Amino acid sequence: MSDAAEVPLGTRVKYLVIGLLAGAALVYGLRPSFSTSTATAPGGPSTNAWGPVAKPASSTSPLSTPPSSAVPAGGALAVAVVDGHVITLREVENALLKQEGVQQLMTMLDEEFKRTDWEKLGDHDTLVQTNSWRVSRVSVAAQLLKQKAGDAREDLIGIALVRNALAKEGVVVDDALIAKEIKRMEKRHYEGLEARKQPYVDFRAFIEQTQKVPFDEYVRQEGFRMGAGIRSLVERRAAAELSEEKLNEWFTSHIERYRVQAAADLSVIYIPYQTSKGPDGKERVTQAEKDRLMSVMIQLHQSIFKRQVSFERNFQVFGRPFEQNADAGGRLGWVNRDGSRPIKGTRKVAQRAMDDVFAAQPPYPMLLSPVISDQGIELLLVHGRRAGKEPVFAEVRAQVVADIVDSDLAPRTKRVLDDLRRASVIDYRSLPALIEQRVSDAGLPSSLPSAIPPALPPESSPESSPESSPESSPESSPESSPESPPALPPALPPALPPDSPGAAPAVEVPPPAAPVAP
């Protein structure tokens, strides 16, 4: 028998724990100690690429400060005692901070800076500060300028071109136009989910997840507003260019798109019966199982009806394993009168359940009683209902134009933007020189990249720079001048947000606001 085997397991575990605690105590005792005061060099504060740096105290030995003086009284509280050895609350904190401290800090900073009004900050206003590090607005801006100034400039040029064109055409980006753009994006979002056979994802929740800002803030952004504006210009041009024959041809070949089916907007908690083998060896559902599941569903119904537990929470706990084509709160979206759903391959909602849905009268949302089906029981929350209708070309003509534009949006948008560029005079200034001056004026160290990124317009010599050519005119367009940047569309918000390959975002839908039917 080996020596290790002769030592009892409990003793080995005890020595292992003691060794780990002793090692942690040694590392903690040898940690460096920094002064919180800012040391200033004779010539002023020292700096790094981010801004002024507070130097650590140089005369204090790491061992000169007793560890106990650095530990708050509350941190010395024991949370466990292992064979007489104390594990303190401070040690628990340290373990958590080592594992998840950075992520927690980033989450806190992310939430804080979402509320920051960057335009109101002064250059040297402090954003983040530690014992030896301070980050100001200008130091962050300097880093971003070096990396992405060219792209940002093109974005702003594109926005300016669109703004001028809208004013010239008399197009006002008002609430009605914004609402139209939101509705169009929402429609394309759900059509995209259906085409890609992806589960239902709430449009607004999807925007907030992908754009990292609240939905209302997203649609107030200038880029989104100008995106809605440029699309209006593109649609106007298409309406003038497309013939009635082309429009009718599109309408006929895509008539299903304009046929409105009777449907209901539903959230569903579906739980199937558990089967067991009968005397003949075949799977069957017993009456006891039916009674058991109905009892469960009645309890869920009562908890939602009495607002003890939300529908969404109940779905996450009980319904999610049996319904993958719903959002995080159990919402399926529009379900046709026959129980079929736009996404192919999804479970049909039981016909009896759909009968109850269409018998339910507003106001919505309306919670229905549990409905028995052949395979299980469904608990439904009705958000709304619509009637079916056959399409008439004259009534959907504008939508046909919009759909044709959507089918070819990127090339059409680029053509309009290229035309706007050709009709405008754009005087490019030397961006690297301006950034260098900005960094110098802010008192930051210069560390510009050695080469101009390819996305920036060529500015290598005075002879080739746009500012040295006063004869710039609409005729000397970016298309015909090698010194000018390519006519690229600005980075306005896309017509449809990027596809979400992952799971549906976690959306906390509020409980029904209207009185709920028993």
Cβ-based neighbours of 319, under 8 Å, separated by 6 or more: 268, 269, 270, 271, 326, 330
pLDDT band at 161 (very low <50, low <70, confident <90, very high): very high
Instruction: Give residue 247's pLDDT.
Output: 94
Q: Give residue 116's pLDDT.
A: 84
Over 50: is that where the pLDDT of 167 sits?
yes
Q: What is the mean pLDDT of the chain?
A: 77
CA distances from 123 to 51, 118, 141, 287, 301 (A): 11, 10, 9, 74, 57
Q: Is residue 361 part of a domain?
A: no
The pLDDT of residue 228: 93
- One domain, residues 200 and 122: no
Residue 202 pLDDT exceeds 90: no
Number of Cβ atoms within 10 Å of the Cβ of 479: 11
Does residue 54 sit in the same domain as residue 128? yes
**Amino acid 73: pLDDT:** 62
* Residue 49 belongs to domain spanning: 3-133
Q: Read off φ and ψ for residue 115, nearest 5 degrees.
A: -95, 5
Is 304 domain-assigned? no
Name residue 376's beta-bridge partners: 272
Is residue 400 scored above 90 in pLDDT?
yes
Q: Residue 175 pLDDT > 50, yes or no? A: yes
| 249 and 223 inside one domain | yes
pLDDT of residue 112: 83
Domain boundary among 376, 404, 434: 434
Closest CA to 87 of 10, 11, 18: 18
pLDDT for the residue numbered 107: 85
Whether the pLDDT of residue 162 is over 60: the answer is yes
Dihedral pair phi/psi, residue 98, rounded to 5°: -65, -35
User: Residue 223: is its pLDDT beyond 50?
Assistant: yes
Confidence band of 198 (pLDDT split at 50, 70, 90): confident
pLDDT for res 467:
39
**Domain termination residue (choose one: 133, 159, 185):** 133
Decide if 373 is inside a domain. Answer: no
Please report whether residue 195 resides in a domain: yes
Say if residue 72 is in the same domain as residue 178. Answer: no
Residue-wise pLDDT tens digits, 413-472 = 999 999 999 999 999 999 999 998 888 888 887 654 444 344 444 443 333 333 333 333
Q: Which pLDDT score is estimated for 195?
A: 80
Give the highest mean pLDDT range of 239-248, 479-488, 491-500.
239-248
pLDDT value at position 344?
Answer: 65
Within-domain flag for 485 = no
3-state secondary structure of 283: strand
Amino acid letter, 253: S
When mean pLDDT is compared across 57-61, 402-406, 484-488, the lowest value belongs to 484-488
Q: Can you give the pLDDT at residue 9?
A: 44
Asked whether residue 176 is domain-assigned, the answer is yes
| Residue 27 and residue 67 share a domain | yes
Res 352: pLDDT: 95
Q: How many domains does the chain have?
A: 2
List helix spans (H) across 55-88. Answer: 67-70
Instruction: Tell me the residue ranges of DSSP E strands in 337-426.
Output: 366-367, 371-372, 376-386
Q: Are residues 122 and 38 in the same domain?
A: yes
Question: Which percentage of the chain shows pLDDT scores above 90?
Answer: 43
Taking only the tens place, the pLDDT of each residue in 338-395 is 999 877 668 899 999 999 999 999 999 999 999 999 899 999 999 999 999 999 999 9
Q: What is the per-residue DSSP string for 334-352? A: EEETTS--SSTTPPPPPHH
> What integer pLDDT is reported at residue 188 of this predicted model?
85
Q: Is the pLDDT of residue 516 over 80?
A: no
What's the average model confidence in pLDDT over 318-330? 91
The secondary element (H helix, E strand) that includes residue 139 is helix 137-169
User: Does residue 499 surpass a pLDDT of 90?
Assistant: no
205 & 110 share domain: no
Asked, for residue 225, whether it belongs to a domain, the answer is: yes
474 vs 438 pLDDT, higher one: 438
Q: Are the beta carbons of 498 and 212 closer than 8 angstroms?
A: no
pLDDT band at 32 (very low <50, low <70, confident <90, very high): very low
130-134, 154-158, 344-348, 416-420: the lowest-pLDDT one: 344-348
Domain stop point among 434, 465, 486: 434
| Residues paired with 381 in a beta bridge | 267, 367
123, 158: one domain: no
Q: Are 21 and 129 in the same domain?
A: yes
**113/11: higher pLDDT:** 113
Distance CA 350, CA 266 (A): 13
What's the pLDDT tens digit per position in 72-126? Answer: 566 688 889 999 999 999 899 999 999 999 888 888 888 788 778 888 999 889 9
Co-location of 52 and 80 in the same domain: yes
**In terms of pLDDT, which residue wins out, 303 or 501?**
303
Same domain membership, residue 21 and residue 111: yes
Please give the pLDDT value at position 165. 94
- Identify the weakest region by mean pLDDT among 359-373, 392-406, 482-496: 482-496
31-45, 129-143, 374-388, 481-495 — which is least confidently predicted?
Answer: 481-495
Q: Which of 14-18, 80-84, 151-155, 210-214 has the lowest mean pLDDT?
A: 14-18
Instruction: List, in sequence order, the alpha helices (H) in 175-318.
Output: 175-195, 203-211, 215-220, 222-241, 244-253, 255-258, 287-305, 311-314
Kindly state whether residues 157 and 219 are assigned to the same domain.
yes
Q: Evaluate whether residue 329 is within a structural domain.
A: no
